[in-house]
Chains A and B, each alone.
Chain A
Amino acid sequence: MFDWRWDFTLNILPRLIEATGNTLLAAGIGYAIAVVIGLALALAQRTPFRALTLAVREAVEFIRSTPLILQIFFVFYVGPQFGIRLSPWVAGMIAIGLHYASYLSEVYRGGLDSVPRGQWEACAALNLSPARTYFRVIIPQALPPSLAGMGNYLVGIFKDTPMLSVIGVAELMHTATAIGSESYRYLEPYTLVGLIFLAISLPSAALIRAFEAWVRKKLGMTR
């Protein structure tokens, strides 16, 4: 680091910290979309309608097998050719939200499959409605085994938000690049971006584990 300039570093730090807010916002909104749509995708594969199951299954496979950055470009640049004109934020949130929804649907699928068959049978014997069976009995039990996977993808979506910079979402990476092109100095801004990501990602794993333990306790599923 022969050429590291502390005055420049301190100068750009506020701007990067401000952009970190946007990164967290993007990750948060994208994740919220993914959590809800992912559940819908998982449940849609468990209905008695074979055609729906197959269609959703294929869509999930398709999204999981193609790069996120292509999907972001597609929504943002190809959309307008079909009359769908979206702002960078909206296009980015749709692309990254759907991308992670397809990953989360697989996590949920594993979680739902881990609920013992006897729980379904008890619901049938008590005549609970399908909605009540899912939302009051099955999903709460599928949640704890899904949390580790959900946590991994929360960190994953956070680390993937820089891809939104390619369509002009003013998140951390985008801001760092802008600083670089204004000042012709890239070392400090990109190093700071790395450090900020590290500082947020590292404690997340521990927090997620603690959250998982808390949920299990809250659900009364520990001795």
Chain B
Amino acid sequence: MTDQDMSKYPLRLADDKVPMVRFMNVTKRYGDLVVLDSLDLDVDEGEMVTVIGPSGSGKTTVLRMLMTLETINGGVIYVDGEPLTHMEKGGRLVPADRRHIRRMRANIGMCFQHFNLFPHMTALENCMEAPVHVLGLPKAEARDRSIELLGMVGLEDKVDQHPARLSGGQQQRVAIARALAMRPKVMLFDEVTSALDPEVIGEVTNVIRKLVDQHNLTMLMVTHQMGFAKEISDRVCFFYDGKIEEQGPPSEIFGSPQKERTQQFLSAVLEAG
């Protein structure tokens, strides 16, 4: 945290309509390399926002900061109106302690490119671990919830399998169920289909489609699948060089992009396939 003026950031958001997620002037640096440069981004409750852009544009960093896997070097992130990695002390915002971060982190769930399932636990145990030991749910209730979610992702017959015995698509669906079992308000999908064989990508995108249709989850998704992004997003953000170069409804971004860099990027990826 640098010696920035924290007084310009509100202690909590209290407008009429508080966005579920607000990035306010957020900066992320690795040494001299600026990964995200004064990012402002709001995501409303129930909104599905897709982040696209060339690699190195900072899009994955956006999700990782929101999951508190990366610290931020400037600005404030608000989740449901409350600062995520800051807390109030003496009328101003200071870096939050572990307790505050753990409490705030409970609002957010994340799925990773490489699933990151616990290999020594069955699909069911993967889903039950955090509800039982973080939320303190009774085992029976956590089990019911996990089985229901594994059913929702189409894996009711795989509950007792270890990850090593599941295909990539199945593992990613377990990972989605595992994240949902914590009942997050915000779900983050970080290139969740990038490590999958083409023929199983549909299994995973179908689950995400189902979430968009049936749940009022707020979702942020980083993806390279432009077709899926176009079909499913409420809004698409095109990142370039640590900034949002252009954003809007998918019809506009994909149909008539205004910025030259967006046009170049889209024509390049659409050509590639």
Contact = CB atoms under 8 A, between A and B. Distances in A.
A141 B120 contact: yes
B109 interface: yes
A222 B164 CA distance: 7
Interface stretch (A5-13, A100-108, A115-123): A115-123
A219 B182 CA distance: 24
Interface residues of B, number: 28
B261 interface: no
B165 A223 contact: yes
Contacts of A136: 129, 133
B134 interface: yes
A126 B179 CA distance: 7
A81 interface: no
A43 interface: no
A140 B182 contact: no
Contact of B112 (A122, A128, A220): A122
Given A128-B134, A141-B119, A221 B162 contact: yes
Interface in A90-132: 116, 118-119, 121-122, 124-129, 132
Given A119-B118, A141-B120, A126 B68 contact: no
A36 to B, nearest CB: 21
Interface in B133-160: 133-134
A208 interface: no
B263 interface: no
A119 B129 CA distance: 14
Contacts of B119: 141, 219-221
Given A127-B102, A127-B105, A220-B164, A121 B134 contact: no
B12 interface: no
B101 to A, nearest CB: 10
Given A126-B130, A223-B165, A119 B105 contact: no
A44 interface: no
Contacts of A223: 164-165
B114 A129 contact: no
Interface in B191-242: none
A121 B164 contact: no
Contacts of B121: 220
Contact of A132 (B105, B133, B178): B133
Contacts of A124: 67-69, 105
A164 B198 CA distance: 63
B116 A118 contact: yes
Interface of A: 116, 118-119, 121-122, 124-129, 132, 136-137, 140-141, 219-223
Interface of B: 67-69, 102, 105-106, 108-110, 112, 114, 116-122, 129-130, 133-134, 162, 164-165, 178-179, 182
Given A121-B116, A127-B102, A221-B119, 13 more contacts: A118-B114, A119-B118, A124-B68, A125-B108, A125-B110, A127-B105, A127-B106, A128-B130, A132-B133, A136-B129, A137-B118, A220-B162, A222-B164
17 contacts: A118-B114, A118-B116, A119-B116, A122-B118, A124-B67, A124-B68, A124-B105, A125-B108, A126-B129, A127-B134, A128-B129, A128-B134, A129-B133, A136-B133, A141-B118, A219-B119, A220-B120
What are the 8 A-B residue pairs with the smallest beta carbon separation, nearest first?
A: A220-B162, A122-B116, A126-B130, A118-B116, A219-B120, A125-B110, A127-B134, A223-B164
